[in-house]
Structure 1
Amino acid sequence: MLVVTDRDGLSFDECQMSRCASKSSISAALNLLLKLDLIDYFTKPGERKRYFRTTAADAFYINKLEEKLKRIEQENRIITKIRKYNKTYNPEKYQSNLKRAEVYHTFIKKSEELLSNTLKTLKEIDNYN
């Protein structure tokens, strides 16, 4: 809702009503999004309510892609270690899974490259503007 709303921000109650969810699930979701720096909050003068909004448009997309890139990089490291281990200590398993593992590992490496290039392009756009 925070991404697609045309308003500057939504209150906790508005988030809850629009999602028809419990207070605890909305609270947990908002806290997670705050920790991931995907949203922030502000208050209006004279009010105690917090209003939630996505971080700046450029930061929102960059943060999401950086999060995904970290996961892909971690998976790439794990797959590389497993393949090296199997090649040395379990050659039968290495050979029996070789083609599938190569296809999957290629996918992971290309995903990592695509995410890196996309992030670079987004950051260039931000520096251009």
Structure 2
Amino acid sequence: MKIDKEIFREMVKFYGEAFHLPPLAAKIYSYLIFDFDRNGVSFDEFVEIFCASKSSISSNLNLLLNLNIITDFNKIDERKRFFMMNEKYMKLRFEEIIEKMEKELLILNQLKDFRNTGDEEALRKFEIYTSLFKKNITNIKDSLDQL
């Protein structure tokens, strides 16, 4: 597999922060992104590539599997497990973001009703804020429908 080391380093940092992953898990995930042909990478390859212990590789693969960030499969003619990115993960991630935004919007509306203010400036800001939520929810939903 061909990898650009600089892009790889940026991806490790970004996905480590974005998904709150330990460094080795971020490296494994970033490495799998370069598997454009989706052939999968075996456990033994990860041990060799990252010069890490089998237990470290195993625990980080299990973390990624439990988070649904990656998937595993077996080839018919081999006993080895192969790992690859979960193509559905981004959709799952954005569905979770929509869910959180809708929940926050519901809470904000409850708070607005509870406050029951006539302050025009506060109401204007609230409308801008809720409008931003609604537009983003709609935009993400529309984009997901196209996937």
Q: TM-score, normalised by structure 2?
A: 0.56
The Cα of 1:26 is off from its aligned counterpart by 7.3
Q: 1:66 aligns with which of 95, 105, 117?
A: 95
The percentage of aligned residue pairs carrying the same residue is: 32
Query: Does the alignment pair 1:77 with 2:106?
Result: yes
Query: How many positions carry a matched residue from both structures?
Result: 114
The answer for the alignment partner of 2:19 in structure 1 is none
Q: TM-score, normalised by structure 1?
A: 0.61
The Cα of 1:99 is off from its aligned counterpart by 3.3
Query: Does the alignment pair 1:102 with 2:131?
Result: no
Listed as ranges, the gaps of 5+ residues in structure 1 are 123-129
AA in 2 matched with 1:110? K
AA in 1 matched with 2:68? D
The answer for the alignment partner of 1:3 in structure 2 is 33
Any conservation in 1 of the 2:43–2:57 contact (CA below 8 Å)? no
Query: In the aligned structure 2, how far is the partner of 1:74 from the partner of 1:63?
Result: 17
Query: In the aligned structure 1, how far is the partner of 2:52 from the partner of 2:104?
Result: 33
Q: Alpha carbon RMSD of aligned pairs, Å? A: 3.4
Query: Does the alignment pair 1:27 with 2:59?
Result: yes
The Cα of 1:69 is off from its aligned counterpart by 1.6
The Cα of 1:27 is off from its aligned counterpart by 2.7
Query: In the aligned structure 2, how far is the partner of 1:105 from the partner of 1:36?
Result: 30
Q: 2:72 aligns with which of 41, 63, 69?
A: 41
Decide whether aligned partners of structure 1 residues 107 and 51 sit closer, same or farther in structure 2, where only a CA change above 3 A counts: same
DSSP-derived class of the 1:8 partner: coil
Any conservation in 2 of the 1:15–1:26 contact (CA below 8 Å)? no
Query: Does the alignment pair 1:54 with 2:85?
Result: yes
